[in-house]
Chains A and B, each alone.
Chain A
Amino acid sequence: MNVQAKHSADASTAEEAIAIQERFDSTAATELAMQNTLLTPRFYTTDFDEMDAIDVTPVRDDWDSLIDRMVSDPNKGHFKKNEDWDHVDWEGMEPELKKEFIDFLVSSCTAEFSGCVLYKEMKRRGSNKDVTQLFQLMARDEARHAGFINDALREAGVAVNLGFLTQKKKYTYFKPKFIYYATYLSEKIGYARYITIFRHLQEHPEHRFHPIFKWFEEWCNDEFAHGEAFALIMKSDPKLTRGRNVLWIKFFLTAVYATMYIRDHQRPRFHAALGVDPDWYAHEVFTKTSTLTRQIFPITLDIENPRWQRGLERLQRANVDMAEGRKQGGIDGRLKSLGAQMRAAACFVDLYTIPAKTHAVPASTRLEPAY
Protein backbone atom coordinates (compact mmCIF):
# COMPACT_ATOMS: atom_id res chain seq x y z
CA MET A 1 0.00 0.00 0.00
CA ASN A 2 1.83 3.11 -1.16
CA VAL A 3 -0.72 5.78 -0.51
CA GLN A 4 -2.59 5.22 2.69
CA ALA A 5 -6.23 6.00 2.53
CA LYS A 6 -7.57 7.81 5.58
CA HIS A 7 -11.14 6.74 5.39
CA SER A 8 -12.49 3.32 4.57
CA ALA A 9 -14.57 4.90 1.78
CA ASP A 10 -11.26 5.63 0.01
CA ALA A 11 -10.01 2.08 0.30
CA SER A 12 -9.62 0.11 -2.91
CA THR A 13 -9.63 -3.33 -1.35
CA ALA A 14 -11.49 -4.92 1.47
CA GLU A 15 -8.22 -5.67 3.30
CA GLU A 16 -7.21 -2.04 3.20
CA ALA A 17 -10.57 -0.93 4.48
CA ILE A 18 -10.39 -3.38 7.37
CA ALA A 19 -6.96 -2.08 8.30
CA ILE A 20 -8.26 1.47 8.34
CA GLN A 21 -11.17 0.54 10.48
CA GLU A 22 -8.98 -1.32 12.93
CA ARG A 23 -7.07 1.86 13.59
CA PHE A 24 -10.25 3.43 14.84
CA ASP A 25 -10.94 3.16 18.47
CA SER A 26 -13.73 0.72 18.92
CA THR A 27 -15.74 3.31 20.82
CA ALA A 28 -17.61 3.41 17.53
CA ALA A 29 -18.92 0.03 18.52
CA THR A 30 -20.57 1.21 21.69
CA GLU A 31 -24.11 1.34 20.56
CA LEU A 32 -25.95 2.66 23.52
CA ALA A 33 -29.69 2.62 23.58
CA MET A 34 -29.88 2.27 19.84
CA GLN A 35 -33.20 1.45 18.31
CA ASN A 36 -32.73 -1.89 16.60
CA THR A 37 -34.04 -2.42 13.10
CA LEU A 38 -33.71 -5.84 11.54
CA LEU A 39 -32.95 -5.66 7.85
CA THR A 40 -35.03 -8.14 5.91
CA PRO A 41 -33.61 -8.50 2.43
CA ARG A 42 -35.06 -11.03 0.01
CA PHE A 43 -33.17 -13.97 -1.40
CA TYR A 44 -33.40 -14.94 -5.01
CA THR A 45 -32.25 -17.62 -7.30
CA THR A 46 -32.47 -17.68 -11.06
CA ASP A 47 -31.45 -19.70 -14.08
CA PHE A 48 -27.74 -19.09 -13.74
CA ASP A 49 -26.88 -21.13 -16.84
CA GLU A 50 -29.06 -18.90 -18.96
CA MET A 51 -27.52 -15.83 -17.44
CA ASP A 52 -24.07 -17.22 -18.03
CA ALA A 53 -24.90 -17.57 -21.71
CA ILE A 54 -25.23 -13.80 -22.16
CA ASP A 55 -23.01 -12.79 -25.04
CA VAL A 56 -22.24 -9.09 -25.15
CA THR A 57 -20.31 -9.35 -28.44
CA PRO A 58 -22.94 -7.32 -30.39
CA VAL A 59 -22.50 -4.42 -27.96
CA ARG A 60 -18.85 -5.01 -27.12
CA ASP A 61 -17.54 -1.43 -27.57
CA ASP A 62 -20.25 0.17 -25.44
CA TRP A 63 -19.94 -2.60 -22.88
CA ASP A 64 -16.17 -2.24 -22.49
CA SER A 65 -16.30 1.52 -22.10
CA LEU A 66 -19.03 1.26 -19.47
CA ILE A 67 -17.17 -1.41 -17.51
CA ASP A 68 -13.89 0.56 -17.76
CA ARG A 69 -15.60 3.55 -16.25
CA MET A 70 -17.06 1.47 -13.44
CA VAL A 71 -13.65 -0.09 -12.77
CA SER A 72 -12.06 3.38 -12.58
CA ASP A 73 -14.60 4.01 -9.82
CA PRO A 74 -15.27 7.75 -10.18
CA ASN A 75 -17.37 7.80 -7.01
CA LYS A 76 -14.79 6.15 -4.80
CA GLY A 77 -14.37 8.24 -1.70
CA HIS A 78 -17.49 10.22 -2.41
CA PHE A 79 -19.78 8.51 0.03
CA LYS A 80 -18.51 9.84 3.28
CA LYS A 81 -19.39 12.77 5.40
CA ASN A 82 -17.47 15.97 4.88
CA GLU A 83 -17.97 19.61 5.83
CA ASP A 84 -21.16 19.66 3.74
CA TRP A 85 -22.75 17.27 6.20
CA ASP A 86 -24.62 19.80 8.33
CA HIS A 87 -25.75 19.12 11.82
CA VAL A 88 -29.07 17.29 11.87
CA ASP A 89 -31.50 18.31 14.53
CA TRP A 90 -33.12 14.92 15.10
CA GLU A 91 -34.56 16.04 18.43
CA GLY A 92 -36.26 19.04 16.90
CA MET A 93 -37.66 17.15 13.93
CA GLU A 94 -41.41 16.83 13.91
CA PRO A 95 -42.13 13.24 15.13
CA GLU A 96 -44.33 12.27 12.18
CA LEU A 97 -41.77 13.54 9.70
CA LYS A 98 -39.03 11.77 11.61
CA LYS A 99 -40.97 8.50 11.42
CA GLU A 100 -41.49 8.80 7.68
CA PHE A 101 -37.93 9.89 7.05
CA ILE A 102 -36.48 6.99 9.02
CA ASP A 103 -38.79 4.66 7.11
CA PHE A 104 -37.36 6.18 3.94
CA LEU A 105 -33.77 5.59 5.09
CA VAL A 106 -34.37 2.04 6.35
CA SER A 107 -36.17 1.05 3.15
CA SER A 108 -33.47 2.62 1.00
CA CYS A 109 -30.85 0.77 2.99
CA THR A 110 -32.76 -2.52 2.62
CA ALA A 111 -33.13 -1.96 -1.12
CA GLU A 112 -29.42 -1.28 -1.60
CA PHE A 113 -28.64 -4.24 0.59
CA SER A 114 -30.95 -6.62 -1.30
CA GLY A 115 -29.41 -5.44 -4.56
CA CYS A 116 -26.01 -6.21 -3.14
CA VAL A 117 -27.05 -9.74 -2.08
CA LEU A 118 -28.62 -10.45 -5.49
CA TYR A 119 -25.67 -9.14 -7.50
CA LYS A 120 -23.16 -10.93 -5.32
CA GLU A 121 -25.02 -14.21 -5.75
CA MET A 122 -24.98 -13.81 -9.51
CA LYS A 123 -21.32 -13.00 -9.43
CA ARG A 124 -20.59 -16.11 -7.45
CA ARG A 125 -22.72 -18.50 -9.46
CA GLY A 126 -21.66 -17.31 -12.91
CA SER A 127 -18.55 -18.13 -14.90
CA ASN A 128 -18.97 -15.71 -17.81
CA LYS A 129 -16.30 -13.08 -17.17
CA ASP A 130 -18.28 -10.14 -18.57
CA VAL A 131 -21.29 -10.91 -16.46
CA THR A 132 -19.48 -11.73 -13.20
CA GLN A 133 -17.36 -8.60 -13.45
CA LEU A 134 -20.43 -6.42 -13.92
CA PHE A 135 -22.23 -7.95 -10.95
CA GLN A 136 -19.17 -7.63 -8.76
CA LEU A 137 -18.93 -3.90 -9.56
CA MET A 138 -22.60 -3.33 -8.94
CA ALA A 139 -22.46 -5.21 -5.63
CA ARG A 140 -19.62 -2.89 -4.61
CA ASP A 141 -21.70 0.21 -5.31
CA GLU A 142 -24.78 -1.08 -3.54
CA ALA A 143 -22.84 -2.08 -0.42
CA ARG A 144 -21.25 1.36 -0.39
CA HIS A 145 -24.60 3.11 -0.62
CA ALA A 146 -26.01 0.88 2.10
CA GLY A 147 -23.07 1.76 4.34
CA PHE A 148 -23.62 5.46 3.78
CA ILE A 149 -27.33 5.30 4.62
CA ASN A 150 -26.52 3.15 7.62
CA ASP A 151 -24.26 5.92 8.88
CA ALA A 152 -27.06 8.45 8.57
CA LEU A 153 -29.34 6.08 10.48
CA ARG A 154 -26.83 5.64 13.27
CA GLU A 155 -26.81 9.37 13.73
CA ALA A 156 -30.55 9.17 14.21
CA GLY A 157 -30.07 6.49 16.84
CA VAL A 158 -31.19 3.62 14.63
CA ALA A 159 -28.96 0.56 14.40
CA VAL A 160 -29.53 -1.90 11.60
CA ASN A 161 -29.34 -5.51 12.61
CA LEU A 162 -27.88 -7.96 10.12
CA GLY A 163 -28.90 -10.95 12.20
CA PHE A 164 -31.36 -12.18 9.55
CA LEU A 165 -28.85 -14.75 8.36
CA THR A 166 -29.53 -17.01 11.29
CA GLN A 167 -33.23 -16.95 10.54
CA LYS A 168 -34.71 -19.41 8.13
CA LYS A 169 -34.99 -17.88 4.69
CA LYS A 170 -36.57 -19.12 1.54
CA TYR A 171 -35.16 -18.59 -1.90
CA THR A 172 -37.61 -17.47 -4.51
CA TYR A 173 -37.13 -17.70 -8.24
CA PHE A 174 -36.99 -15.15 -11.06
CA LYS A 175 -36.52 -15.77 -14.73
CA PRO A 176 -33.42 -13.94 -15.91
CA LYS A 177 -35.40 -11.73 -18.29
CA PHE A 178 -37.64 -10.56 -15.46
CA ILE A 179 -34.55 -9.67 -13.47
CA TYR A 180 -33.38 -7.57 -16.42
CA TYR A 181 -36.69 -5.73 -16.85
CA ALA A 182 -37.24 -5.18 -13.14
CA THR A 183 -33.72 -4.17 -12.16
CA TYR A 184 -33.24 -2.05 -15.29
CA LEU A 185 -36.41 -0.13 -14.51
CA SER A 186 -35.65 0.03 -10.83
CA GLU A 187 -32.20 1.56 -11.50
CA LYS A 188 -33.52 4.05 -14.07
CA ILE A 189 -36.53 5.12 -12.04
CA GLY A 190 -34.22 5.34 -9.03
CA TYR A 191 -32.02 7.73 -10.97
CA ALA A 192 -35.05 9.82 -12.00
CA ARG A 193 -36.33 9.93 -8.42
CA TYR A 194 -33.03 10.98 -6.86
CA ILE A 195 -32.14 13.56 -9.50
CA THR A 196 -35.60 15.15 -9.40
CA ILE A 197 -35.28 15.68 -5.65
CA PHE A 198 -31.69 16.85 -5.99
CA ARG A 199 -32.56 19.48 -8.63
CA HIS A 200 -35.62 20.59 -6.71
CA LEU A 201 -33.54 21.12 -3.56
CA GLN A 202 -30.89 23.00 -5.50
CA GLU A 203 -33.58 25.53 -6.29
CA HIS A 204 -35.19 25.37 -2.85
CA PRO A 205 -32.41 24.73 -0.35
CA GLU A 206 -34.70 25.82 2.49
CA HIS A 207 -36.50 22.48 2.11
CA ARG A 208 -33.34 20.39 2.50
CA PHE A 209 -34.05 19.11 5.98
CA HIS A 210 -31.26 16.54 5.97
CA PRO A 211 -27.76 16.68 4.40
CA ILE A 212 -28.01 13.24 2.77
CA PHE A 213 -29.92 14.84 -0.12
CA LYS A 214 -26.73 16.65 -1.11
CA TRP A 215 -25.21 13.28 -2.02
CA PHE A 216 -28.06 12.28 -4.30
CA GLU A 217 -26.39 13.45 -7.51
CA GLU A 218 -23.39 11.09 -7.43
CA TRP A 219 -25.54 8.44 -5.89
CA CYS A 220 -27.97 8.45 -8.77
CA ASN A 221 -25.14 8.44 -11.30
CA ASP A 222 -24.26 4.98 -9.99
CA GLU A 223 -27.88 3.92 -10.48
CA PHE A 224 -27.76 5.35 -13.97
CA ALA A 225 -24.65 3.33 -14.85
CA HIS A 226 -26.21 0.11 -13.53
CA GLY A 227 -29.25 0.75 -15.70
CA GLU A 228 -26.97 1.24 -18.70
CA ALA A 229 -25.44 -2.18 -18.14
CA PHE A 230 -28.86 -3.87 -18.10
CA ALA A 231 -29.85 -1.94 -21.25
CA LEU A 232 -26.78 -3.38 -22.98
CA ILE A 233 -27.61 -6.90 -21.80
CA MET A 234 -31.10 -6.54 -23.28
CA LYS A 235 -29.64 -5.04 -26.45
CA SER A 236 -27.35 -8.06 -26.85
CA ASP A 237 -30.38 -10.30 -27.30
CA PRO A 238 -33.06 -8.59 -29.45
CA LYS A 239 -35.66 -11.24 -28.54
CA LEU A 240 -35.87 -9.69 -25.08
CA THR A 241 -37.52 -6.54 -26.37
CA ARG A 242 -39.65 -8.02 -29.14
CA GLY A 243 -42.90 -9.88 -29.71
CA ARG A 244 -44.68 -11.12 -26.64
CA ASN A 245 -41.98 -9.72 -24.41
CA VAL A 246 -43.27 -6.24 -25.24
CA LEU A 247 -46.38 -7.14 -23.25
CA TRP A 248 -44.16 -8.05 -20.32
CA ILE A 249 -42.33 -4.75 -20.66
CA LYS A 250 -45.64 -2.91 -20.55
CA PHE A 251 -46.64 -4.92 -17.50
CA PHE A 252 -43.43 -4.04 -15.67
CA LEU A 253 -43.67 -0.36 -16.59
CA THR A 254 -47.26 -0.17 -15.35
CA ALA A 255 -46.56 -2.10 -12.15
CA VAL A 256 -43.44 -0.15 -11.28
CA TYR A 257 -44.98 3.27 -11.95
CA ALA A 258 -48.17 2.40 -10.08
CA THR A 259 -46.27 1.04 -7.07
CA MET A 260 -44.18 4.16 -6.86
CA TYR A 261 -47.29 6.35 -6.99
CA ILE A 262 -48.96 4.42 -4.18
CA ARG A 263 -45.93 4.31 -1.91
CA ASP A 264 -45.15 8.00 -2.31
CA HIS A 265 -48.71 8.94 -1.45
CA GLN A 266 -48.37 7.04 1.81
CA ARG A 267 -45.73 9.47 3.04
CA PRO A 268 -47.35 12.92 2.95
CA ARG A 269 -45.21 14.61 5.61
CA PHE A 270 -41.97 13.58 4.00
CA HIS A 271 -43.03 15.14 0.72
CA ALA A 272 -44.48 18.23 2.40
CA ALA A 273 -41.16 18.80 4.20
CA LEU A 274 -39.35 18.60 0.87
CA GLY A 275 -41.87 21.02 -0.61
CA VAL A 276 -42.82 18.43 -3.22
CA ASP A 277 -46.35 17.61 -4.38
CA PRO A 278 -46.39 13.81 -4.82
CA ASP A 279 -48.56 14.07 -7.94
CA TRP A 280 -46.20 16.55 -9.55
CA TYR A 281 -43.26 14.42 -8.46
CA ALA A 282 -44.74 11.21 -9.90
CA HIS A 283 -45.45 12.87 -13.23
CA GLU A 284 -41.97 14.35 -13.36
CA VAL A 285 -40.31 11.01 -12.55
CA PHE A 286 -42.49 9.09 -15.06
CA THR A 287 -41.66 11.62 -17.79
CA LYS A 288 -37.93 11.33 -17.17
CA THR A 289 -38.04 7.54 -16.89
CA SER A 290 -40.06 7.24 -20.12
CA THR A 291 -37.52 9.38 -21.97
CA LEU A 292 -34.66 7.25 -20.65
CA THR A 293 -36.26 3.87 -21.33
CA ARG A 294 -36.74 4.74 -25.01
CA GLN A 295 -33.10 3.72 -25.30
CA ILE A 296 -34.16 0.07 -25.19
CA PHE A 297 -37.93 -0.41 -24.77
CA PRO A 298 -39.97 -0.09 -27.98
CA ILE A 299 -42.93 1.35 -26.05
CA THR A 300 -43.61 3.97 -23.40
CA LEU A 301 -46.75 4.38 -21.33
CA ASP A 302 -49.14 7.14 -22.34
CA ILE A 303 -48.98 9.03 -19.05
CA GLU A 304 -50.73 12.06 -20.59
CA ASN A 305 -53.86 10.03 -21.24
CA PRO A 306 -56.58 11.19 -18.77
CA ARG A 307 -57.23 7.53 -17.89
CA TRP A 308 -53.70 7.32 -16.46
CA GLN A 309 -53.95 9.87 -13.64
CA ARG A 310 -57.55 8.89 -12.90
CA GLY A 311 -56.57 5.22 -12.69
CA LEU A 312 -53.65 5.94 -10.35
CA GLU A 313 -55.85 7.95 -8.00
CA ARG A 314 -58.44 5.16 -7.87
CA LEU A 315 -55.77 2.56 -7.29
CA GLN A 316 -54.38 4.62 -4.44
CA ARG A 317 -57.82 4.89 -2.80
CA ALA A 318 -58.41 1.15 -3.20
CA ASN A 319 -55.07 0.50 -1.56
CA VAL A 320 -55.95 2.66 1.44
CA ASP A 321 -59.33 0.89 1.78
CA MET A 322 -57.65 -2.48 1.56
CA ALA A 323 -55.37 -1.62 4.48
CA GLU A 324 -58.25 -0.19 6.49
CA GLY A 325 -60.27 -3.37 5.98
CA ARG A 326 -57.37 -5.53 7.11
CA LYS A 327 -56.86 -3.39 10.18
CA GLN A 328 -60.56 -3.42 11.03
CA GLY A 329 -60.63 -7.23 10.94
CA GLY A 330 -63.72 -9.39 11.34
CA ILE A 331 -66.13 -10.26 8.55
CA ASP A 332 -66.87 -6.63 7.71
CA GLY A 333 -63.21 -5.78 7.50
CA ARG A 334 -62.47 -8.79 5.39
CA LEU A 335 -65.29 -7.98 2.98
CA LYS A 336 -64.14 -4.38 2.74
CA SER A 337 -60.60 -5.50 2.04
CA LEU A 338 -61.74 -8.04 -0.55
CA GLY A 339 -63.88 -5.45 -2.32
CA ALA A 340 -60.98 -3.01 -2.36
CA GLN A 341 -58.70 -5.71 -3.71
CA MET A 342 -61.06 -6.32 -6.61
CA ARG A 343 -61.26 -2.60 -7.31
CA ALA A 344 -57.46 -2.42 -7.27
CA ALA A 345 -57.21 -5.28 -9.74
CA ALA A 346 -59.74 -3.58 -12.02
CA CYS A 347 -57.78 -0.31 -11.79
CA PHE A 348 -54.61 -2.11 -12.74
CA VAL A 349 -56.25 -3.71 -15.76
CA ASP A 350 -57.58 -0.29 -16.74
CA LEU A 351 -54.09 1.22 -16.51
CA TYR A 352 -52.54 -1.69 -18.37
CA THR A 353 -54.97 -1.43 -21.26
CA ILE A 354 -54.28 2.25 -22.02
CA PRO A 355 -52.73 2.04 -25.51
CA ALA A 356 -48.96 2.47 -25.27
CA LYS A 357 -46.89 4.76 -27.47
CA THR A 358 -44.58 2.91 -29.80
CA HIS A 359 -41.40 4.24 -31.28
CA ALA A 360 -38.22 3.17 -33.02
CA VAL A 361 -35.37 2.16 -30.73
CA PRO A 362 -31.96 3.75 -31.47
CA ALA A 363 -29.14 1.56 -32.81
CA SER A 364 -26.89 2.35 -29.85
CA THR A 365 -28.37 2.37 -26.38
CA ARG A 366 -25.72 4.36 -24.53
CA LEU A 367 -26.90 7.45 -22.67
CA GLU A 368 -25.26 9.86 -20.27
CA PRO A 369 -27.04 11.32 -17.24
CA ALA A 370 -28.39 14.67 -18.44
CA TYR A 371 -31.06 15.77 -15.99
Chain B
Amino acid sequence: MGLFTKEIERAPCTVEISHKFESLHAHVRFNNGAVIHPGDEVQVHGPEIMAPFGEVVTEDREATIIRASKIEQLWTRMTGDFEFMELCEFSFSEEVTL
Protein backbone atom coordinates (compact mmCIF):
# COMPACT_ATOMS: atom_id res chain seq x y z
CA MET B 1 0.00 0.00 0.00
CA GLY B 2 1.39 3.36 -0.99
CA LEU B 3 1.44 6.35 1.25
CA PHE B 4 -0.52 8.43 -1.22
CA THR B 5 -1.37 6.02 -4.01
CA LYS B 6 -4.44 3.89 -4.28
CA GLU B 7 -4.17 0.33 -5.45
CA ILE B 8 -6.85 -1.46 -7.35
CA GLU B 9 -7.51 -5.15 -7.13
CA ARG B 10 -10.13 -7.49 -8.48
CA ALA B 11 -11.73 -10.14 -6.34
CA PRO B 12 -14.27 -12.84 -7.12
CA CYS B 13 -17.27 -12.55 -4.86
CA THR B 14 -20.62 -14.07 -4.09
CA VAL B 15 -23.60 -11.80 -3.69
CA GLU B 16 -26.69 -12.91 -1.88
CA ILE B 17 -29.83 -10.84 -1.99
CA SER B 18 -32.91 -11.91 -0.12
CA HIS B 19 -36.09 -10.09 -0.90
CA LYS B 20 -38.40 -12.16 1.16
CA PHE B 21 -40.99 -11.48 3.75
CA GLU B 22 -39.01 -13.47 6.24
CA SER B 23 -35.74 -11.71 5.60
CA LEU B 24 -34.66 -8.68 3.66
CA HIS B 25 -30.91 -8.63 3.36
CA ALA B 26 -28.00 -8.29 0.97
CA HIS B 27 -24.45 -9.46 1.53
CA VAL B 28 -21.23 -9.64 -0.42
CA ARG B 29 -18.59 -12.25 0.39
CA PHE B 30 -15.15 -12.21 -1.19
CA ASN B 31 -14.18 -15.68 -2.29
CA ASN B 32 -10.42 -15.13 -2.23
CA GLY B 33 -10.30 -14.07 1.38
CA ALA B 34 -9.85 -10.36 0.58
CA VAL B 35 -10.39 -8.16 3.62
CA ILE B 36 -11.78 -4.63 3.59
CA HIS B 37 -9.95 -1.91 5.48
CA PRO B 38 -11.09 1.56 6.48
CA GLY B 39 -11.49 3.89 3.52
CA ASP B 40 -11.52 1.14 0.88
CA GLU B 41 -14.15 1.30 -1.80
CA VAL B 42 -15.90 -1.71 -3.24
CA GLN B 43 -17.87 -2.07 -6.42
CA VAL B 44 -19.55 -5.21 -7.62
CA HIS B 45 -19.54 -5.44 -11.41
CA GLY B 46 -22.30 -6.31 -13.78
CA PRO B 47 -25.91 -5.30 -14.02
CA GLU B 48 -27.93 -4.41 -10.98
CA ILE B 49 -28.95 -7.53 -9.11
CA MET B 50 -32.66 -7.57 -8.45
CA ALA B 51 -34.41 -10.25 -6.49
CA PRO B 52 -38.14 -10.42 -7.16
CA PHE B 53 -40.25 -10.35 -4.05
CA GLY B 54 -40.27 -13.70 -2.31
CA GLU B 55 -36.94 -14.83 -3.72
CA VAL B 56 -33.31 -15.14 -2.77
CA VAL B 57 -30.80 -14.53 -5.53
CA THR B 58 -27.21 -15.70 -5.24
CA GLU B 59 -24.74 -14.77 -7.93
CA ASP B 60 -21.01 -15.08 -8.44
CA ARG B 61 -19.60 -11.81 -9.59
CA GLU B 62 -16.38 -9.92 -9.75
CA ALA B 63 -15.71 -6.92 -7.59
CA THR B 64 -13.15 -4.15 -7.72
CA ILE B 65 -11.61 -3.11 -4.46
CA ILE B 66 -10.04 0.34 -4.55
CA ARG B 67 -7.63 0.25 -1.68
CA ALA B 68 -7.33 3.46 0.28
CA SER B 69 -3.86 4.96 0.44
CA LYS B 70 -2.08 4.82 3.79
CA ILE B 71 -2.94 8.46 4.43
CA GLU B 72 -6.56 7.96 3.55
CA GLN B 73 -6.80 4.90 5.74
CA LEU B 74 -5.37 6.85 8.63
CA TRP B 75 -7.77 9.69 7.95
CA THR B 76 -10.78 7.37 7.85
CA ARG B 77 -9.67 5.81 11.13
CA MET B 78 -9.40 9.20 12.74
CA THR B 79 -12.60 10.70 11.43
CA GLY B 80 -14.92 7.79 10.72
CA ASP B 81 -16.15 7.80 14.29
CA PHE B 82 -17.79 11.15 13.79
CA GLU B 83 -20.23 9.61 11.38
CA PHE B 84 -21.61 7.54 14.19
CA MET B 85 -25.05 9.12 14.03
CA GLU B 86 -25.62 6.92 11.01
CA LEU B 87 -25.86 4.05 13.43
CA CYS B 88 -28.64 5.72 15.35
CA GLU B 89 -31.48 5.93 12.92
CA PHE B 90 -34.60 7.53 14.19
CA SER B 91 -37.01 6.16 11.72
CA PHE B 92 -37.01 9.35 9.74
CA SER B 93 -34.87 10.50 6.90
CA GLU B 94 -32.64 13.53 7.26
CA GLU B 95 -34.79 15.67 4.99
CA VAL B 96 -35.99 18.63 7.00
CA THR B 97 -39.17 18.95 4.98
CA LEU B 98 -40.70 16.44 2.63
Q: Contact check, A162 vs B37: say whether CB atoms are below 8 A apart.
A: no
Q: Contact check, B91 vs A107: say whether CB atoms are below 8 A apart.
A: yes
Q: Contact check, A114 vs B25: say whether CB atoms are below 8 A apart.
A: no
Decide yes or no: A42 and B48 within 8 Å by CB, A107-B92, A173-B38, A320-B96 being known contacts.
no
Which residues of chain B in 38-78 are interfacial with respect to chain A, using CB atoms and an 8 Å cutoff? 38-56, 66, 76-77
Selected from B40, B50, B95, the residue in CB contact (under 8 A) with A162 is B50
Please, which residue of chain A has its CB at the minimum distance from the CB of B59?
A: A165
Decide yes or no: A165 and B15 within 8 Å by CB, A107-B93, A143-B24, A259-B90 being known contacts.
yes
- In the complex, which residues of chain A have a beta carbon less than 8 angstroms from the beta carbon of B95? 103, 266
Decide yes or no: A323 and B97 within 8 Å by CB, A104-B92, A162-B17 being known contacts.
yes
Q: Contact check, A169 vs B41: say whether CB atoms are below 8 A apart.
A: yes
Please, which residue of chain B has its CB at the minimum distance from the CB of A17?
A: B22
- In the complex, which residues of chain B have a beta carbon less than 8 angstroms from the beta carbon of A28? 52-54
Count of interface residues, chain A, beta-carbon cutoff 8 Å: 85
Given contacts A21-B55, A100-B98, A179-B87, could you give 13 more A-B pairs where the C-beta distance is less than 8 Å? A17-B22, A18-B56, A44-B80, A44-B87, A143-B22, A147-B21, A162-B49, A163-B48, A164-B26, A170-B40, A172-B83, A178-B84, A263-B91
Bitwise interface map of A from 99 to 142 toward B, beta carbon under 8 Å scored 1, else 0? 11001101111111110111010001100000000000001100
Determine which residue in B21, B22, B28, B53 has the highest number of CB atoms from chain A within 10 A of its CB, and name it: B22
Query: How far apart are the CA atoms of A144 and B51 in the complex, in Å?
Result: 16
A287 within 8 A of B: no
Selected from B18, B25, B83, B89, the residue in CB contact (under 8 A) with A117 is B25
B46: shortest Cβ distance to chain A, in Å?
Answer: 7
Decide yes or no: A263 and B90 within 8 Å by CB, A148-B21, A323-B97 being known contacts.
yes
Q: Contact check, B84 vs A143: say whether CB atoms are below 8 A apart.
A: no
Bitwise interface map of A from 148 to 159 toward B, beta carbon under 8 Å scored 1, else 0? 101100100001
User: What are 25 sample pairs from A and B whose C-beta atoms fall under 8 A apart?
Assistant: A26-B52, A29-B53, A45-B36, A80-B21, A96-B98, A103-B93, A107-B91, A116-B25, A117-B26, A143-B18, A143-B25, A148-B21, A160-B24, A161-B48, A166-B45, A166-B46, A166-B49, A168-B42, A170-B41, A171-B36, A178-B84, A185-B88, A186-B88, A259-B90, A266-B96
The 3 tightest CB contacts between A and B, nearest first, are: A111-B89, A29-B52, A173-B80
B20 within 8 A of A: yes
B67: shortest Cβ distance to chain A, in Å?
Answer: 11
A31 within 8 A of B: yes
A340: shortest Cβ distance to chain B, in Å?
Answer: 11
Selected from A125, A166, A266, the residue in CB contact (under 8 A) with B92 is A266
- In the complex, which residues of chain B have a beta carbon less than 8 angstroms from the beta carbon of A44? 80, 87
Please, which residue of chain A has its CB at the minimum distance from the CB of B38?
A: A173
* B interface list, Cβ under 8 A from A: 15, 17-29, 35-56, 66, 76-77, 80-81, 83-98
Determine which residue in B43, B89, B95 has the highest number of CB atoms from chain A within 10 A of its CB, and name it: B89
- In the complex, which residues of chain B have a beta carbon less than 8 angstroms from the beta carbon of A259? 85, 88, 90
- In the complex, which residues of chain B have a beta carbon less than 8 angstroms from the beta carbon of A185? 88
Q: Contact check, B55 vs A186: say whether CB atoms are below 8 A apart.
A: no
Q: Contact check, A120 vs B25: say whether CB atoms are below 8 A apart.
A: yes
Decide yes or no: A114 and B51 within 8 Å by CB, A100-B98, A143-B23, A173-B38 being known contacts.
no
B78: shortest Cβ distance to chain A, in Å?
Answer: 9
Q: Contact check, A31 vs B48: say whether CB atoms are below 8 A apart.
A: no
Decide yes or no: A106 and B88 within 8 Å by CB, A144-B23, A169-B43 being known contacts.
no
- In the complex, which residues of chain A have a beta carbon less than 8 angstroms from the beta carbon of B41? 168-171
- In the complex, which residues of chain A have a beta carbon less than 8 angstroms from the beta carbon of B35? 125
Please, which residue of chain B has its CB at the minimum distance from the CB of A323?
A: B96
Query: How far apart are the CA atoms of A320 and B97 in the complex, in Å?
Result: 9
Decide yes or no: A113 and B76 within 8 Å by CB, A31-B53, A143-B18, A174-B81 being known contacts.
no
